[in-house]
Structures are given as structure tokens and as C-alpha cells.
A and B are shown apart, each in its own frame.
Chain A
Amino acid sequence: MDKKTVVKVEDVSMKFNLSSEKFDSFKEYVIKSLKNQVSYDEFWALKHVSFEVMQGDSLGLIGLNGSGKSTMLKTIAGVLKPTEGVVTVNGNVAPLIELGAGFDFDLTAKENVYLNGALLGYSRKMMDGYYNDIVEFSELSEFMNVPVKNFSSGMVSRLAFAIATIGTPDILIVDEVLSVGDFRFQQKCEGRIRRMMKEGTTILFVSHSIEQVKSICNKIVWLEKGRLKKFGKTSEICEEYSKCY
């Protein structure tokens, strides 16, 4: 099978200004910029990271807290624009970054299904087709007319997972979301991710559980303090990673 590159990350660096909060007021900004005092503490969350993901691959991102995993995912999802370098993405991305980010907690579950569908670029008509599937998968059929603010966190993440994984996106971004819900639901989610992989979806997976990464991913990007430490096959890197920590 001829595989094409779906995600290409070329020499990406991402810079944050740590003290940008200081200039909340216009007056201060004008005065300081006149005095030429606008200086920020720079922080490079990512530095010269490059890798490629082929279609059907499932890529795991590992590393300690603050190593730049989430920043990396955000640049791929198009939320952040890299300071340097280029991220090329071929295909539509379904972001699972923090489940429930798109929910409006005053709306009912049903209304949120349509709102979130629209956030992923699905029309109302298409969502009608998926609606039953979402209700069934999230096991929330009795609660669909309840405002989401009254949901438990487990219920929210079940609903969010069900919405984000409708259809077959080209790329699915999973950021430590399998750690929510009970054991049985986690298995159900994993099952769904596997089914999507079979249908050719590329998975980008972030987790602190090396076991989960091992069981789902075939390639790994290992980040350390914003730099790419290793990129390669799961079996090789996992061994080294376990030794390190």
C-alpha cells in the first residue's frame, strides 16, 4: 500500500513570552515602549523539532511534564502557530485535546452535540445521522435534555469522546483522555480508537502511561525540554524510556 505523509513537522520552534501579562494596560505599554523597556523573558517550549507521520501510523508523544507535548499537538491542530518552522497537515484533524473544551455548560447535552459537531465542521444534517450513535456510545440516553453543568466529569468526558470520534477523521489527536472514565469505558474508548486505526485514521497520542502507548502506538516521539530526543519505533524507544525513568 502506498502511504502518504499526513503530518510533516519541519524544524519547528515555539517561543512564549513569559511576562507578557505585565502589559495589561495601554498606558503602561505606551510608556514602556517609549522608554524602550518592552522586554520579555523568553521561553522556548519547542526547539527545532522535526518528524513525519505517515498515513495509518499511530504516533505516541512521550516525555515528562513541561517537555512540550501539548504544545506540539496544538501546533499540529492549528491552534498555535509556530514561531519558526512549518507544520504541514494533509487531511482533517479531529482534536480531542482536553475533552469537553467545546461545551457550553448552560446548554443541554443534546444542544451541545450539535454545537460540538459544528466545531468539528459537521452540519446539523450530518449530526442528525450521527446522533443516535453518540447517545448509544456515551450511554447517556436518559440525560440528553439535561444541561451539561449538572453532569459529572465522567459523563462529560464520555459525551465528549463520543462526539469527537464520530465519522472517520484523517487524524485524531488524543491528549491524555483515556485516563478518564471507569475501567470499562476506557476499554470501550480504546476499542474505538483501534477501529479507527483499522480504517486508516492516523492517531497522535499523548499519555503518561507507557503501557497505553505501547499497546496503541507503533512510532514514538520522545521530547525532552522542548527538544526531540528520539524518534523511532515503539519497541526500541520504550525500552530506553523505561530505563531512564
Chain B
Amino acid sequence: MSRYIQNFLKFNPLLGELVARDIKIKYRRSVLGVFWTLLNPLCMMIILSIVFSNLFKFDIENFPLYILSGQVIFNFYSDSTSGAMSSIIGSAALIKKVYVPKYLFVISRVFSSFINLMASFTALLIVMVATRTELHWTVFLVPIPLFLLVLFSLGIGLALAAITVKFRDIMHLYNVFVTALLYLTPVIYPMSILPPWLYKVVMLNPITNILMMFRDVMLENTIFNMTSLIIAILESLLSLGVGLYIFYKNQDQFILNI
């Protein structure tokens, strides 16, 4: 165990550099640079709320905020897991030549997505202030669902990264899966419109639970109940555990397959 920790400490600077690289490359040569992380969710919110408040009418007060909060959470999940999935293959040149703990590539992708999450979270706060929505003290509880979401996505990302090295099909399959998942998460629609059987299915989705916790503290001014917190913790830990296990079992084979 101490060997792992020592190794992690030695390569700790690398994690920072990898995250910095991801961010730098993403916004190099763009005029507005990092502002895009802020602008992007705002533009998406405007489009979606125009579309959905005219085409389909949902009974939700402050619909733009509802959509934006859903997007903040779901985009982080889809961004971080698809990034993590291709991280090992994308770093093939490095992995073949230098010894580096391989999980670092996955973690760095999840972290750089987290930085994007912080930016879109700022966008959410800006919209809340602009629309004069009341901010309540429950906002301070927001790190809890976010932290659980990061753990959950990291676990999924680790598992995906390891499996994708062996089966590239997963990459194509996962895109479809994420789209399906988007509709199984109450990002654009309210839970109340769902028929009972679909309601159960949507509730089985771990992201739904985390998203609802997030909305509770951000928009609803209520504290999420204990049951959903415990379920979220268990799901995140399970995902992380399984992800780590799959990754650890396969990591020595990576070099033979990339």
C-alpha cells in the first residue's frame, strides 16, 4: 500500500500538468478562451428553453434554470466518462515508452471535466442572479452531490477506459448509450409527466438521484432526504470499486493492445 502512495506522490505534479494541458489545448487559438466553458452552457440553455417552452409546455417554474441545472450535471457525466474512455488509447504513444501510473490519464480527464463543471456551475449562478431567483443557504450543501457525481463518473470512466482498450466497439456503443441515458435522466422534462412504469426506470438511473439532490439544494430550497443520500453514496462507492477493480486487473495488458 505504501508503495502505491509513494508512487502517487511522485507523479502528483504530472496530474496537474495533464489537467493544465487538457484545458490549454482545448481553448488554444480561440479568442474567448476559457470563457467558452461559461458561454457554452448558456447558449445551450437559451436554445433549449426557447424550443421547449414553445414546442412542449412543461409545468415548471423558471424552466431555463431547470434545464441548465440538469445540463450542468449531465454534461459533466457524459464529458468525463467519454473523455476517460479514450484517455488510455489517446496516450498510447506515452504509455508505450515511459512508465507512468496509467490511472493518472483517466483521473486527469475527469478533473479537467470537473473544471468545466465549475465553469458551468458559475454560469448557473449567474443566471440565478440575473433572473432574481433567491439563493438559499442550502446552496452550501452543493459540494455533496457534486463530489458523489465525481466519484461515480470516475468509477465508470475507469471501467470504460480499461474495456475500450480491448474492445474498440465500446466507443461507438457508448455514444448511443449516453444519448439514451440523457432521456432517462430528467434533464429537460419534469418527473411528474412520467407514467408510473417509466418513473421507476428513470429512478433506477443513479444520475437521476444525484441530479435531484442537486436541484433540491440549488433550486428547491430543501435538503435532500437521508435515503437518497445513502443510495447515492452506495452507488458512487460501488461504481468506484468496480471501476478500480476492472482497471487494476487489466492495466498490465494495455500495452499489448493499444
Contact = CB atoms under 8 A, between A and B. Distances in A.
Interface string A97-136: 1100110101100010011011101111000000000000
Given A29-B167, A102-B98, A121-B10, A79 B21 contact: no
B100 A111 contact: no
B94 A102 contact: yes
A100 to B, nearest CB: 10
Contacts of A111: 21, 24
A215 interface: no
A20 B256 contact: yes
A25 interface: yes
Contacts of B170: 26
Contact of A17 (B21, B97, B255, B256): B256
A2 to B, nearest CB: 26
Contacts of B132: none
A121 B255 contact: no
A7 to B, nearest CB: 14
A115 to B, nearest CB: 5
A118 B17 contact: yes
A125 to B, nearest CB: 9
A114 B24 CA distance: 14
Interface residues of B, number: 28
Interface string B128-156: 00000000000000000000000000000
A107 B96 CA distance: 21
Interface in A129-182: none
Interface string B11-30: 11110111001001100100
Contacts of B11: 118, 121
Contacts of A68: none
A115 B252 contact: no
B243 to A, nearest CB: 19
Contacts of A25: 167-169
B11 to A, nearest CB: 6
A209 to B, nearest CB: 22
Interface string B234-258: 0000000000000000001001110
Interface string B156-171: 0000000000011110
Contact of A93 (B28, B99, B257): B99
B95 interface: yes
**DSSP class of B's interface residues: helix, strand, loop or mixed?**
helix
A97 B95 CA distance: 12
Contact of B94 (A81, A117, A119): A119
Interface in B163-182: 167-170
Contacts of B95: 79
B50 interface: no
Interface string A15-37: 01100100011110100000000
A101 B13 contact: no
B93 interface: yes
Contacts of A79: 95-99, 255
A78 B21 contact: no
B83 to A, nearest CB: 16
Contact of B97 (A29, A93, A97): A97
A113 to B, nearest CB: 10
A111 B13 CA distance: 13
Q: Quick one: which of B10, B17, B28 has the most chain A CB within 10 A?
A: B17
23 contacts: A17-B256, A24-B168, A25-B168, A25-B169, A29-B167, A74-B97, A77-B98, A79-B95, A80-B255, A93-B99, A97-B98, A98-B97, A101-B94, A101-B97, A101-B98, A115-B18, A115-B21, A118-B11, A118-B14, A118-B18, A121-B10, A121-B14, A123-B13
Given A79-B255, A102-B97, 4 more contacts: A20-B256, A79-B96, A98-B97, A119-B14
For the complex of A and B, list the 5 residue pairs with the smallest distance between their C-beta atoms, beginning with the closest.
A78-B99, A101-B97, A118-B14, A118-B17, A123-B13
Interface of B: 10-14, 16-18, 21, 24-25, 28, 93-100, 167-170, 252, 255-257
